[in-house]
Amino acid sequence: MAGELDKKDLSTRAVHAGERLKQGEFLPMSTPIYSSATFLYGHLEEIDAISSGARSGFTYTRHDNPTNAALEQAVRSLEGGGVAVSCASGMAAILLALLAAGVEKGTAVVASQDLYGVTVKFLTDVVERWGVEVDFVDLFSPAGIEKMWARRPKVLLFESMTNPLLRIPDLPALIADARARSCRVIVDNTFATPVLLRPLELGADFVVHSATKYLGGHGDLTGGILVARQEFAEETRHFSRLVGAILGPFEAWLVLRGLKTLPLRVTRQCESALALAAWLSRHPRIERVYYPGLLTHPDANRCKDLFSGGMAGGVLAIVIRNAVRDDIFHFVDSLELFLKATSLGDVQSLILYPAISSHRDLAPKHRERLGITENLVRLSVGIEGVDDLRTDLAQALSKL
C-alpha cells in the first residue's frame, strides 16, 4: 500500500500517508496517540523477535512508537525518502543527520555561511568539540565553492532557502559535485517544505525539518524530522535510539494532523506572500524586499526552475528605509495581525527581528556581512485574508 501511495499526488499523500497502519483487531480511521512507554506481548519470544529485527513491532517508545511511526511514514512519503525519524526538535534532527552521515573526529564539515544562527553555534560550540573541522563558505560565489571542495569535506550542510534573505542555492550542481567527491549532503528544507522542493529527489542524502514550522503549522508544538536515503536507514535508526532525542507521541500526532492541510496552507501562504512582496516593493518606506518570487531577487530564475507550481515560499524580508532599532521596535509593536514570534510557517502571520532573535548570537559585523542589517525584519505570512494583512502593514508603516 505504501509503495502505491508514494506514486500519488502530494496532496493525496499528505492526507493518507502513514494512516490506518493496522495494530490489532480494529483499524482506526485516524491514528490515535499511543501514550505508552512500553508495549506488551503474550510471549517473550515475540519481544526477542522484534528486538532482533526478525519481525516488526513496538517494544519501547525510545525505539519506536505507533503514533510516531505513522508520522514518519507520512513525511518519508512526502519527501521521497527511504526512512524518517521524528525528533524532539529541528536541532536534534541536524545532530542525528551528522551522526548518520559519518561525521567523527578527523572529518570535515563544510556549511553554508547563511545558515540559521543557532545551527552555526551548534556547529562551532558542539560539533567542533568532537574534533571535527568545521568551515563556513559562501555557496553563492565561485570562490566559496572552490574553497569548499579544497577542504575535502565528509559532509556538506546547507538550507534549501536561507534565513532570512531567502537565497536559493544551486542544489542540482552542489549535490552532483558532492556525490562525485563522496561527500554526503544534508539539506535543511524547513522553509521550502516538500510542497515546493524535495532535495532527496535531486540526490541529497539527508533532509531535515523543524516540524515546529510548516509541517505542524499551528504554533502548538516543538519537533523535528530527519528523512534519509534508504542506504542510511540503519545508521539513522541506530543513532536515534542511542541519542534518545525523540518526539513525544502527542507532538507526533499534532504534526501528523498538520500534514493533512500542508499543501493547502503552503499554497495560500505563497500566494499571499507574493502579493504582499509586490505591494511592499512599491511602498515609499521600504528600501528593499527579499522574496524569490520577485524578479529583483538574485535567485528568481532558480526559484522558477526548482520550486513546484511557480511558488516561492511564504516568507519574505523587508528593509525599512532609514530605520534604526527604535523605529523597528515601534513598527513591530504597531502591528495587530502580524504576531511578534520567533518562529515561522504558522497559520497565523508572524514577524521577527533577526538582529535580536534568529541571528542574535552572531556578532554585529558578521550579521552585516551576511546582509542582515539593523533595519531588516522577516515576515512569515499566514492564511489570513491578504487584504487584511496589507492593511495591517500599511497602518504600521504610516506611523514611522
- For 260, the 3-state DSSP assignment is coil
Bridge partners of residue 87, in order along the sequence: 224, 246
Q: Which pLDDT score is estimated for 27?
A: 81
pLDDT at 146: 94
Each residue of 3-62: pLDDT tens digit?
678 888 999 999 999 887 766 667 888 899 999 999 998 999 988 898 888 988 888 889
Give the separation between CA 63 and CA 75, rounded to whole angstroms. Answer: 18
Give the residue among 315, 347, 314, 356 at the shortest CA–CA distance from 163: 315
Fill in the DSSP letter of residue 135. E
Judge whether 214 and 266 are in contact, CB under 8 Å.
yes
Task: Give the pLDDT of residue 84.
Answer: 98
3-class secondary structure, 191: coil
Give the chain's domains with CATH numbers.
2-259 (3.40.640.10), 262-397 (3.90.1150.10)
Low-confidence ranges of the chain (pLDDT < 70): 1-3, 22-25, 358-363
Looking at residue 361, what is its pLDDT? Answer: 64
* Integer Cα distance of 376 and 165 in angstroms: 10
Q: Strand locations in the chain, DSSP E?
A: 83-87, 108-112, 133-137, 155-159, 184-188, 206-210, 224-228, 286-290, 315-320, 339-340, 350-352, 376-380
Question: Which residue, chain included where needed, has cell 501514550?
Answer: 35
With beta carbons less than 8 A apart as the criterion, state whether 51 and 59 touch. Answer: yes
Distance of CA 5 to the CA centre of its chain: 23
- 210 forms bridges with which residues in the sheet? 224
**Phi-psi label, residue 131: left if phi above 0, alpha if psi -120 to 50, beta otherwise:** left
User: What is the C-alpha separation between 119 and 190, in angstroms, rounded?
Assistant: 13
> What are the beta bridge partners of residue 225?
86, 209
Q: What is the DSSP secondary-structure string of 20-85?
A: ----SSS--SS------SB---SSHHHHHHHHHTSS---SBTTT--HHHHHHHHHHHHHHT-SEEE
Output the pLDDT for position 56.
87
Q: Pairing state of beta strands 108-112 and 376-380?
A: unpaired
Question: What pLDDT is recorded for position 59?
Answer: 86
Q: Which residue carries 542555492 as its cell?
A: 169
Q: At what angle do helices 386-397 and 262-280 cross, to 10 degrees?
A: 40
pLDDT of residue 51: 87
Start-to-end CA distance of the chain, whole Å, equals: 57
For residue range 83-93, list pLDDT tens digits in order: 999 999 999 99
pLDDT at 358: 66
Cα separation, 186 vs 313, in Å, equals 20
**Closest alpha carbon to 318 in 358, 269, 373, 364:** 373
